[in-house]
A = this chain, B = another copy of it.
Amino acid sequence: MNFQTLYAKDKKLVLLDQTVLPDKLAYNEYTDYRDVIPAIQRLEVRGAPAIGIAAAYAMALGVQAATDTGVDQLRQTMIEIGKEIKDARPTAVNLAWAVDRVLEVAAGYNGDSADEYRQIFWNEGDAILKEDQEMCEAMGRYGAEQLPDKCTILTHCNAGALATGGIGTALAVIYKAVEMGKDIKVFADETRPLLQGARLTCWELMENGVDVTLITDNMAGYTMSLGKIDAVVTGADRITKNGDVANKIGTYSVAVLAQKHGIPFYVAAPESTFDKFIESGKDIPIEQRAPEEVTEGFGRRTAPNGTKVFSPAFDITPHELVTAYFTDTGVRPGGRQA
């Protein structure tokens, strides 16, 4: 990769600003966790694994700047900051997972040095980032092994290096398959409203020399009907106990269309995306986004003033539509029968 989506440096968090891609490759530095929350909300950093890592480092920024003198006071402060960060976006499980994890590790600290306590958060952020990189590699390898030697894959949104600290989830499968010498082509749904497919997936696949063709979301069905797609691979923002998948809006439509055409539908996600506390998809809160993302998507108003908009950021793909899950620990069967 010629870029890194996010990392810590000199007690700062550095984010590749995904709102300005593909026009510009720009990095922003953060020293205050209160600035990271809106950065997550405006999708400067996005993708379930990446916002988990960003959340861990935001906690580190929070504890770094906290003026409390004793460890006990810091512990109280960090619980409050953790709540704020968890609320940044409601759908992806990784935010809460990362916050809880760093708090749990910090809870194990028995000393009385505020500096040592603070360092725990930075170390744990680094650990989560490193694990994420390893998970991406493993997930990609497990998934790539499942693909035929010659294969055209449809993907939705961006579940790539730009969504993680490593080489991605869905796109890790593609990178690994190419590395194994397989003949891989990709179709990318542009993914309205924010065009992560056009702006991010096309950009990173082209940067890495992968053959990619862009389509609008509403072309996916017709493209399948022409026999052009051999498999669908997407990421996930949260997977429930029964295997239902919350992912970028439009994933559900693609899964229905894949089933209709007998095309396998794979979900690539690390174990941390599996929420052990939620039974099924109907219990996942779905974030609603601002109407302007739909009506002024291209910097120019494209619907009449006052147009009502329904804009869910995610949808739920029931496990019955999933052929298999590619995780960092192996391949889990999905609930789809054919």
Contact = CB atoms under 8 A, between A and B. Distances in A.
Contacts of A198: 294-295, 302-303, 307
Interface in A280-329: 294-295, 297-304, 306-312, 315-316
Contacts of A303: 22, 190, 195, 198-199, 202-203, 214
Contact of A301 (B23, B302, B304, B311): B23
A310 B22 contact: no
Contacts of A308: 211-214
Contacts of A203: 303-304
Question: Interface SS of chain A: helix, strand, loop or mixed?
Answer: mixed
A298 B295 contact: no
Interface string A183-214: 00001011111010011001100100001111
B307 A206 contact: yes
Given A192-B190, A218-B189, A202 B257 contact: no
Contact of A225 (B214, B216, B316): B316
A213 B309 contact: yes
Nearest to A191: B218
The copy count of this chain in the complex is 2
A335 interface: no
A203 B306 CA distance: 10
A203 B71 CA distance: 60
B298 A299 contact: yes
A219 interface: yes
Given A22-B303, A299-B298, A315 B225 contact: yes
A220 interface: yes
A106 interface: no
A216 B213 contact: no
Interface string A59-92: 0000000000000000000000000000000000
A218 B302 contact: no
Given A213-B308, A256-B257, A219 B249 contact: yes
A41 interface: no
Interface in A201-239: 202-203, 206, 211-223, 225
B309 A215 contact: yes
8 contacts: A202-B307, A216-B294, A217-B250, A219-B249, A221-B253, A222-B312, A225-B316, A253-B253
The 3 tightest CB contacts between A and B, nearest first, are A218-B250, A221-B253, A298-B298
